[in-house]
Chain A
Amino acid sequence: MKKTLIGLLALTLMFSCKNAEDKNENAENEKQELNVYTHRHYESDQDLFKQFEEETGIKVNVINASADELIQKMRMEGEQSPADVLITVDAGRLERAKSSDLLQAVSSDILEETIPSHLKDADNYWFGLTKRARVIAYAKDRVDENELSTYEDLASDKWNDKLLIRSSGNIYNQSLMASIIVHNGEEEAKKWAEAVVENMARAPKGNDRDQVKAVVAGEGDLAVVNTYYIGKLLNSEDPEEVKAGESIELFFPNQEGRGTHINVSGAGVAKHAPNKENAVKFIEFLISEEAQKIFAHSNYEYPVNEDVAPATLLQEWGEFKEDTLNLSTLGENNKKAVMLFDEAGWK
């Protein structure tokens, strides 16, 4: 037993020393490394990282987890955090990282010129990389397009027991709610949420794809979903999913008014980034035309770089007016949104 213990200790030490060595090496070749904390884990992203490595010789290390967990991790690591870049799938979490003092401002002409101002932080703490719209998918045979108009209209009686939407734990719903709080005020937002809960065809469950399938199965007539999930359904390996994608039609709400609610995947440079220069270079690379093409074509998201055209499928859906509300406000109102959801009984 003693021997085993000693052996264990030795093993622990070996691991630790090896790690310390790694770190020392890192210190010597500081320019050659980049540590990315990311919530995105698409194959396309892996390809992009590889391409960046090949072009610059900078080695990209990746840690995947949910944005919340990554932010928590960065908070705890403090000044010693190895993180250089934080990538999330929504703007709200980036705003939270900023307000928790985890990011730093970046001055880069390329980033400032390429990214439209409502898709990045006003003080340049974070930048949007790709965007998607939260739209209404409806059953062609049961819903007349003329009946659809705005997010606010989803609270109307005519949709009683016909609406499908996922749970309030989902960040995309939280961001939509935050935008409604900003546009209509807290009280109206709460009333809206209560009415939407009344209209739900079933208790919220599953993901966006499941909502679409439920429409096709006839459980409800319309579902609130992100655009790229429809792209994925239509390009799924499962023929049944393709069929589901084909049986619904998309509607972009609020076209007469403020525009359709959008959100971004985005990136910011960590406050204590050991490789700050590489980090900036990396984000610049991600919004370059070649990288944006990969983003746009493999994952059915809209590019933030306006020189790059969206994938053909997205072009078929047509152009739409987007809500130009600065996305920082989504993060600022996120907690309020969650609490209103709870009070409205939105599971």
Chain B
Amino acid sequence: MAIVLFIALPVIAIALKLLEGPGETWQHLVNNLLVDYIGNSFFLIFACSVLVLILGVGSAWLVARFEFPLRKQLEWLLILPLAIPSYIVAYAYAGVFDYGGSLELILRGLNLEFIRIDIMNKFGLAFVLSISLFPYVYVSSRAFFLNQAGNLLEASTMLGVGEFKSFFRLMLPLARPAIIAGLILVLMEVLNDYGAAQYFGVNTFTTGIFRAWFSLEEPETAVYLSALLIFIVFALILFEKWQRKHIQVTGNKASGRTHRKLGTKPMQWLKFILVLIPVMLGFFIPVGQLMYWAFLTAEKVFDFDFILLSLQSFGIALVTSMVTVLFATLLIYFAKWSSINGIKSISRLGILGYAIPGAVVAIGIMIPTLAFDKWFINTMDSVFGVKTGFLFNGTLVALVYAYCVRFLAVAYNPIESTALKVSNSIPDSSKMLGVGNFKTFFKIEFPLIKTGILSAVILVFIDVLKELPLTLILKPFHINTLAVKAFEYASDEMVMEAAIPSLFIIFTATIPVIFLNRLLIKE
């Protein structure tokens, strides 16, 4: 309960602000902008869902079920788009399709006519977001296809059911919880995106929140918009819960390794090409563009300070991911052990932080921690006559706390989905034999959900590396991160200079991604 409170505190602080009512400009917003915000946000939810499902589930199925050239390499390359912040992908693609951009240069080199493709609109935004976020779905559905589906597939093949049919009729429905868990993460990120939407000139809820807050100077109205956004996300989560009720995947209903099919040579190459497409679009093209820019600006950007900065970024992300995963695990298991009804639904509240824009989370963190800090300073001063500084604000503690709130959902999902697969009968029998909750957890459940936990650590690590608005507001003096550095350049219209810090984020995130892949395959 304390953990839920701890994590939900910022959400509650914002909810309390709701009671104060919307600001004067609310009516103005409803009259002029709200339709646009709702329309565009729903368009993005829809378009990204379709694209992400095709890219994520499709590629997961291909690599889990079939053998083809370079499959092993492609398996981890498919996760790498996650390593690039989506606003950087947006800048990179604008750079590719721009006037004087890479595409034009290449076409000119080939003596071909240049056809200008305008990517800076809502369709382009849906494309950019999907291409950089589909790995969430890929990771969760591939884990399912690899580890859970073997026996069933064998049975269906033995019964003579065709490949397509067994995929659509058998695998998809079974994998649905895993796929949807990934999809929800994608949609939350989509709703949360600020940088790419703003650059492409698409009005969404999140750009609206920033506008209401900063341009119209009305935090109250921004909070109202956030509440609407939270409502949408909550609806998505409930929808997923409802889905799960229909299909219970627990215990050993589905299990066993999937054996890969070989197929004919041409078919193998076709599959290779199909899987290569998302890798090219999501990783090699943007990274290629960034490398070109990095090459142009290396002398200016790269120095010793830059290496220190990278180390700092790395350290913060590592500590944060471990703390966040600890909280997520506690949350899941306390909810599981608790006999109080309703605590499970409350524990879901804890992951709402992911739905709130980073800037709003930051403010949500500052309200309670500042109140505490001020109280602490005053008490220390009046009671003991000691002058103290802030305990939380402007320190790493507040920053890590905020990351925790924001990314709990990222940790929660993979752990929960592995935890759900552990049938209750095993820990139950252990408990019946008189072993306590904690001991049972460490002896029996922990080894079973280890993969989930490690995936969670890695996903949070990457997200923290990329995180921007919250870091900008809460980061202490002296500390900087690669994402902040990249943003500083980009926001001053020095997009090319942003390439090197972006590439560093990508390469720092690549190592754990490869590790994550090993882990998922081993299990």
* A interface residues, Cβ below 8 angstroms from B: 1-2, 4, 8, 12, 15-16, 19-20, 22-24, 26-27, 35, 41-43, 61-66, 68-69, 72-73, 76-78, 80, 82, 96, 167, 169, 174, 202-210, 213-214, 216-217, 229, 232, 236-238, 240-241, 243-244, 334-335, 338-339, 342-343, 345, 347
CB distance from B289 to the nearest CB of A (A): 11
**Docked CA distance A22–B442 (Å):** 39
Chain B residues, Cβ within 8 Å of A203: 121, 201
Contact assessment for A206 and B395 in the assembled complex, using a CB-CB cutoff below 8 Å: no
CB distance from B327 to the nearest CB of A (A): 10
18 A-B contacts (beta carbon < 8 Å)? A2-B438, A12-B397, A15-B396, A15-B397, A16-B395, A19-B390, A23-B388, A69-B359, A69-B469, A77-B370, A169-B198, A206-B94, A206-B199, A232-B493, A238-B296, A244-B99, A334-B217, A339-B25
Interface residues as binary, B367-391 with A (CB distance below 8 Å gives 1, 0 otherwise): 1001001100100000000011111
Contact assessment for B215 and A80 in the assembled complex, using a CB-CB cutoff below 8 Å: no
Contact assessment for A339 and B216 in the assembled complex, using a CB-CB cutoff below 8 Å: yes
Contact assessment for B99 and A216 in the assembled complex, using a CB-CB cutoff below 8 Å: yes
Contact assessment for A68 and B99 in the assembled complex, using a CB-CB cutoff below 8 Å: no
Q: A205-B201, A206-B94 are in contact. List 7 more A-B contacts (CB 8 A).
A: A19-B395, A213-B99, A216-B100, A238-B296, A338-B216, A339-B216, A342-B33
Contact assessment for B121 and A210 in the assembled complex, using a CB-CB cutoff below 8 Å: no
**Docked CA distance A339–B199 (Å):** 21
A206-B214 contact in complex given A19-B389, A216-B99, C-beta closer than 8 Å: no
**Docked CA distance A345–B203 (Å):** 12
Partner of B32, one of A68, A96, A342: A342
Contact assessment for A73 and B473 in the assembled complex, using a CB-CB cutoff below 8 Å: yes
How many chain-B residues does the 8 Å CB contact rule pick out? 73
Contact assessment for B326 and A4 in the assembled complex, using a CB-CB cutoff below 8 Å: yes
A241-B100 contact in complex given A16-B397, A66-B472, C-beta closer than 8 Å: yes
Chain B residues, Cβ within 8 Å of A347: 201, 203
Asked if B48 is at the interface (CB within 8 A of a chain A CB), the reply is no
A82-B198 contact in complex given A61-B478, A217-B99, C-beta closer than 8 Å: no
Most buried by B among A68, A80, A339, A343: A80
Chain B residues, Cβ within 8 Å of A335: 25, 215-217
Chain B residues, Cβ within 8 Å of A66: 214, 472, 491
**Docked CA distance A41–B484 (Å):** 10
* B interface residues, Cβ below 8 angstroms from A: 25, 28-29, 32-33, 94, 98-101, 105, 116, 118, 120-121, 198-201, 203, 207, 210-211, 213-217, 219, 293, 296-297, 300, 323, 326, 330, 359, 363, 366-367, 370, 373-374, 377, 387-397, 438, 441-442, 469, 472-473, 475, 477-478, 480, 484, 488-489, 491-494, 496
Partner of A240, one of B100, B198, B359, B373: B100
Contact assessment for B32 and A343 in the assembled complex, using a CB-CB cutoff below 8 Å: yes
Chain B residues, Cβ within 8 Å of A8: 323, 326
**Docked CA distance A78–B371 (Å):** 11
**Docked CA distance A20–B377 (Å):** 11
CB distance from B209 to the nearest CB of A (A): 12
Contact assessment for A68 and B214 in the assembled complex, using a CB-CB cutoff below 8 Å: yes
A339-B28 contact in complex given A78-B374, A207-B199, C-beta closer than 8 Å: yes
Contact assessment for A64 and B493 in the assembled complex, using a CB-CB cutoff below 8 Å: no
Chain B residues, Cβ within 8 Å of A216: 99-100
Chain B residues, Cβ within 8 Å of A174: 215
Contact assessment for B215 and A205 in the assembled complex, using a CB-CB cutoff below 8 Å: no
Partner of B394, one of A41, A42, A82, A217: A82
Contact assessment for B370 and A26 in the assembled complex, using a CB-CB cutoff below 8 Å: no
Contact assessment for B472 and A65 in the assembled complex, using a CB-CB cutoff below 8 Å: yes
Chain A residues, Cβ within 8 Å of B363: 72, 76
Contact assessment for B496 and A63 in the assembled complex, using a CB-CB cutoff below 8 Å: no
A76-B366 contact in complex given A16-B392, A16-B395, C-beta closer than 8 Å: yes
**Docked CA distance A76–B390 (Å):** 13
Contact assessment for B492 and A23 in the assembled complex, using a CB-CB cutoff below 8 Å: no
CB distance from A86 to the nearest CB of B (A): 15
Partner of A69, one of B100, B389, B472: B472
Contact assessment for B99 and A342 in the assembled complex, using a CB-CB cutoff below 8 Å: no
CB distance from B207 to the nearest CB of A (A): 7
Chain A residues, Cβ within 8 Å of B389: 19-20, 22-24, 26
Nearest chain B residue, comparing its CB with the CB of A62: B477
Contact assessment for A169 and B387 in the assembled complex, using a CB-CB cutoff below 8 Å: no
CB distance from A200 to the nearest CB of B (A): 11
Contact assessment for A69 and B28 in the assembled complex, using a CB-CB cutoff below 8 Å: no
**Docked CA distance A63–B492 (Å):** 16
Contact assessment for B121 and A1 in the assembled complex, using a CB-CB cutoff below 8 Å: no
Contact assessment for B477 and A338 in the assembled complex, using a CB-CB cutoff below 8 Å: no
A208-B392 contact in complex given A96-B217, A169-B215, A339-B25, C-beta closer than 8 Å: no
Nearest chain A residue, comparing its CB with the CB of B122: A203
Chain A residues, Cβ within 8 Å of B441: 1
Most buried by A among B296, B395, B484: B395
**Docked CA distance A213–B120 (Å):** 14
Chain A residues, Cβ within 8 Å of B217: 96, 334-335
Contact assessment for B215 and A334 in the assembled complex, using a CB-CB cutoff below 8 Å: yes
Contact assessment for B472 and A64 in the assembled complex, using a CB-CB cutoff below 8 Å: yes
Nearest chain B residue, comparing its CB with the CB of A18: B395
Chain A residues, Cβ within 8 Å of B207: 169
Nearest chain A residue, comparing its CB with the CB of B373: A80
Partner of A16, one of B213, B330, B391: B391
Chain B residues, Cβ within 8 Å of A4: 326
**Docked CA distance A345–B438 (Å):** 59
